[in-house]
Amino acid sequence: MSVVISDGVYEGKDIEGIRYDSPQNESGWYLITDDYNDDIKSLKMVHFYHVAFARPDFLKYLAIPLGYRFLMKDGNIEIRQDEVE
């Protein structure tokens, strides 16, 4: 399973985790920090286990269902449901 991450995820920065519908071999998770520069080419696709070992602090939140996201700020995590358009 793969996860898409921005710079700063492995470094322990606060993140926003957004889950999208995805192909079977991808988790659909995009994990973005304030280091993300809005250039999609700067994102990296990595294997789930790399994120799991590097960031166990939010690992349990990767089980939330499609249509939700989480925001980590100063160690606190808030879960939000995405707005349906």
How far is the first Cα of the chain from the last one, in angstroms, to the nearest whole number?
28
Helix (H) or strand (E) holding 54: helix 48-54
**Inter-residue contact 2 to 47 (CB < 8 Å):** yes
**Tens of pLDDT, residues 2-59:** 999 999 999 999 999 999 888 888 889 999 999 999 999 999 999 999 999 999 999 9
Closest CA to 54 of 11, 17, 14: 11
Q: How far is CA 82 from CA 1, 10, 21, 45, 52, in A?
A: 23, 25, 13, 23, 24
This prediction has a pTM of 0.89
